[in-house]
């Protein structure tokens, strides 16, 4: 007869080390996953599509060859574009905006305008382009 002693074996599994290891692995994968993604060089096909119908209520942000930014026909400075866009979008049910930019402006200006538009809460941002010219076609004015 044993007094004060307990010879029963503990049959519970200690899951704390398992959870710790899993959390460490999760953090490692979360940190390394963005580094593993690499872009592939892809030659995108060119296609001539039909004209797009745009309602009069659609917002079109334009950048002209002098880097001036317009919301529809109203000129705005790049510093106040996000504030103006968010004010305009408050009363709208559609948060869709189209961006039209001159082909000769720097890429950085277009990216900055796109960033300001996205910062205003725009859900869909479309790019407007002109029709593709073929070798034998004559440009109509």
Per-domain boundaries in the chain = 59-127
pLDDT (tens digit, 9 = 90+) per residue, 3-45? Answer: 555 667 777 788 888 999 999 999 998 888 877 655 444 333 4
Q: How many CB atoms lie within 10 A of CB 30?
A: 9
Query: How far is Cα 122 from Cα 131, in angstroms, rounded to an integer?
Result: 26
Amino acid 20: pLDDT: 94
Lookup result for tokens 């790019």:
127
Taking alpha carbons only, the member of 87, 84, 111, 86 closest to residue 99 is 111
Residue 39: predicted pLDDT: 42
Burial class (CB in 10 A: 0-12, 13-18, 19+), 67: middle
- The model's pLDDT over 44-75, given as tens digits with 9 standing for 90+, comes to 344 455 555 555 578 888 888 888 888 888 88
Q: Which CATH number is correct for 59-127, 3.40.1010.10, 3.30.56.10, 3.40.50.300, 3.30.420.270?
A: 3.30.420.270
Nearest to 67 by CA among 99, 110, 97: 110
Task: Give every CB contact of residue 89 below 8 A, 6+ residues apart in sequence.
Answer: 59, 95, 120, 121, 122
* Whether pLDDT at 111 is above 70: yes
């Amino acid at each position: 007869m044993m007094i004060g002693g307990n010879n029963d074996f503990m049959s519970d599994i200690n899951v704390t080390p398992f959870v710790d290891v899993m959390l460490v692995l999760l953090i490692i994968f979360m940190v390394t996953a963005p580094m593993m993604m690499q872009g592939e060089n892809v030659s995108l096909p060119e296609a001539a599509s039909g004209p797009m119908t745009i309602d009069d209520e659609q917002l079109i942000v334009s950048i002209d060859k002098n880097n001036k930014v317009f919301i529809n026909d109203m000129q705005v400075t790049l510093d106040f574009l996000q504030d103006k866009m968010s004010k305009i979008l408050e009363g709208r049910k559609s948060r869709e905006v189209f961006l039209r930019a001159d082909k000769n402006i720097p890429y950085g200006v277009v990216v900055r305008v796109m960033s300001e538009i996205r910062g205003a809460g725009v859900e869909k941002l479309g790019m407007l382009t002109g029709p593709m010219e073929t070798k034998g076609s004559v440009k109509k004015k």
